[in-house]
Amino acid sequence: MVAIHHDNKTHKDEVDQLQSLEIRKLDSDAPMRWLSKGIEDFKTAPMLSISYGLIYTVLGLLLIWLTYNNPLYTFGLVTIFYLAGPLIAVGLYCMSRRIEQGKTPRFAGSFEALRKNPNGIIGFSIIIGILIVFWTVIAAALTSVYFSGMIMRDSVYQTLINSDQLIPFLISIFLVGLLFAIVSFMVSVISIPLMTHRKVDVATAMITSVKSVKKNPAVMFKWAFSIVALISLGFATAFIGVAIALPIVGHASWHAYRELVIDE
């Protein structure tokens, strides 16, 4: 009975410690420092990183193919790519963790994360999935509101360009998408790296992530802008550049987590 009591107390102390993770106040150069470290990790395992990125290049090309005749859906699907980004890069976080430990990075990092913290990773995946469903429904509703009565007189692209509803639609969907992106960024910017490193629950991970943004708003805004800029460059090259941009951002995100959360 004494041993059981001791184990329960130890578990309670561990949970209390995890629930009160402290966040550092960082300087404005932090995002550039993270990117520099991310590039170093990329150079440490270039072929492995690119192989990981190529998976999502193929997924991006598949999105383009699926929406080629329905360009109105392209923006929505690209936004989903951004929302799911932290989950997409889970294997890259694990690669950077192994590099930090002086170990050889492995492609099966995603499976390592699932073995280490299955409840956290799966639980967060469900939350992001719900967010994506809400976004999909809203994007479809906006498309219906603005273009339900559209008459096709030429090609789809020409009809859209000539539509007086195109600009109001783009403004509306951009603002709504921006709101979803901000929420997703705040709850996920360090959540997955944290859960691949420590066995924390979803609530603790999301609270810690939000705290990191609130404590370093200017730094995290700069980091968010850097992520969007890099991934957008990848999109601009018909998703080919994603094979390089995504691994660098993924590796850098690990270093963002390591600097933001105080490791006791």
How confident is the model over 8-13, as a mean pLDDT? Answer: 45
pLDDT of residue 157: 57
For 241-261, the pLDDT digits (tens) are: 888 999 999 999 999 999 999
CB 3 within 8 A of CB 198: no
For 177-214, the pLDDT digits (tens) are: 888 888 889 999 999 999 988 888 999 999 999 999 99
pLDDT score of 20: 67
Cite the beta strand spans of the chain per DSSP E: none
pLDDT at 38: 96
DSSP three-state, residue 178: helix
Residue 32: closest CA among 229, 237, 234, 241:
229
Name the one residue in this structure whose structure tokens are 């967060």. Answer: 124
What's the one-letter identity of residue 234?
G
The predicted pLDDT at position 5 comes to 42
- Give the residue-averaged pLDDT of 21-49: 94
Report pLDDT for 205. Answer: 93
The yes-or-no verdict on residue 12 having pLDDT over 50 is no
- 């699926």: which residue's tokens? 66
DSSP 1: -
Instruction: Compute the distance between CA of residue 124 and CA of residue 119 in angstroms, rounded to an integer.
Output: 8
pLDDT at residue 30, rounded to an integer = 96
Reduce the DSSP state of residue 261 to 3 states and report it.
strand
Write the pLDDT tens digit of every residue in 73-124.
Answer: 666 666 776 777 777 788 899 899 999 999 888 777 667 777 788 888 888 8
User: What φ, ψ does residue 198 adopt, rounded to 5°?
Assistant: -130, 150
Taking alpha carbons only, the member of 187, 160, 177, 175 closest to residue 69 is 160
- Neighbouring CB atoms inside 10 A of 163's CB total 15
pLDDT of res. 14: 45
Secondary structure class of 35 (helix, strand, coil): helix
Rounded to whole angstroms, the Cα distance separating 40 from 35 reads 9
Per-residue confidence band for 232, with pLDDT thresholds at 50, 70 and 90: confident
Dist CA 40 CA 3 (whole Å): 46
The pTM assigned to this predicted structure is 0.81
d(CA 110, CA 93): 9
Torsion-angle region of 156 (φ positive above 0: left; ψ -120 to 50: alpha; else: beta)? alpha
Q: What is the pLDDT of residues 120-169, one digit of tens each?
A: 888 888 888 888 888 888 887 887 787 776 655 555 556 667 777 778 88
Of 17-26, 45-54, 211-220, highest mean pLDDT? 211-220
Distance (Å, whole) CA 39 – CA 61: 24
pLDDT for the residue 153: 55
